């Protein structure tokens, strides 16, 4: 069984992430979407919320599993018995960021390859940070995130803008 890991912060999940996961799942027997738990930075969404956003956007996908991870991605990849890491590639900037990580992860895992899937043209300008900025000021995020996640994301940032502590989280700024 060939397993790949699709890691990211997914804070929040975007249509670009969903598309990469959907396409990557067709290339492997099993795709593990690995959601970063960063102890140094409070995320805006819990791991469960981030998994929920993916699941609602990608129903009936038995080959896709979801896991939180912390520490080195390479250790998680080895623990999953995966042979590859999948990342989306929106352009040259992403390539510069991804290439050193791919080399490091290849060495750290003893040979797991990083597969860079080009984002579809309609997704190249989407990022989680863009969604966060738009949502903080009450803008329409529906072109950027899964339909089922629009309310959760909008409410989270709207409430933060109002100084609410609903959800128990501070919002991280990048």
Q: Which residues are catalytic?
A: 17, 41, 90, 128
Residues 126-155 interacting with ligand PNS (rule: CB under 6 A): none
- The 3-state DSSP class for residue 169 equals coil
- Candidates 53, 58, 73, 134: give the one binding ligand PNS (CB under 6 A): 73
Whole-number minimum distance, CB 101 to ligand PNS, in Å? 4
Q: Which is nearer to ligand PNS, 10 or 157 (CB)?
A: 10
What is the rounded CA–CA span in Å between residue 155 and residue 134? 12
- Candidates 3, 9, 43, 80: give the one binding ligand PNS (CB under 6 A): 9
| Of 146, 147, 149, 171, the residue nearest 158 (C-alpha) | 171
What is the rounded CA–CA span in Å between residue 47 and residue 69? 9
DSSP state of 59: -
Candidate segments 70-78, 112-120, 137-145, 163-171, binder of ligand PNS by CB under 6 A: 70-78
Q: Does 72 bind ligand PNS (CB under 6 A)?
A: yes
- What track of x and - describes contact with ligand PNS for positions 87 through 116 (by CB under 6 A)? --------------x--xx-----------
Question: What residue ranges in the chain does DSSP mark as E strands?
Answer: 3-8, 30-36, 64-69, 84-89, 113-118
Which residues on adjacent β-strands are paired with residue 31? 4, 64
Q: Binding residues for ligand PNS, how many (CB under 6 A)?
A: 10
Task: Give exposure, 15-36, as e/b (b: 16+ Cβ within 10 Å).
Answer: bbbbbbbebbbeebebbbbbbb
- Candidates 5, 7, 53, 112: give the one binding ligand PNS (CB under 6 A): 7
Q: Does 79 bind ligand PNS (CB under 6 A)?
A: no
What is the rounded CA–CA span in Å between residue 174 and residue 167? 20
Residues 17-46 interacting with ligand PNS (rule: CB under 6 A): 36
Contact residues for ligand PNS, defined by CB under 6 A: 7-9, 36, 72-74, 101, 104-105
């Amino acid at each position: 069984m060939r397993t790949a890991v699709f890691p990211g912060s997914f804070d929040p999940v975007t249509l670009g992430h969903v598309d990469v996961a959907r396409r990557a799942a067709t290339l492997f027997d099993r795709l593990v979407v690995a959601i970063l738990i960063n102890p140094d930075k409070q995320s805006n969404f819990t791991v469960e919320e981030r998994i929920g956003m993916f699941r609602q956007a990608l129903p009936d996908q038995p080959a896709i599993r979801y896991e939180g991870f912390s520490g080195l991605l390479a250790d998680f990849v080895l623990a999953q018995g995966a042979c590859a890491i999948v990342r989306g590639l929106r352009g040259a900037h992403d390539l510069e960021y991804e290439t050193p990580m791919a080399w490091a992860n290849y060495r750290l895992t003893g040979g797991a390859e990083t597969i860079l899937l080009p984002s579809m043209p309609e997704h190249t300008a989407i990022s989680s940070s863009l969604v966060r900025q738009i949502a903080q000021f009450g803008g329409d995020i529906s072109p950027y995130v899964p339909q089922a996640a629009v309310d959760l994301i909008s409410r989270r940032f709207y409430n933060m803008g109002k100084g609410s502590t609903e959800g128990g989280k501070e919002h991280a700024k990048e």
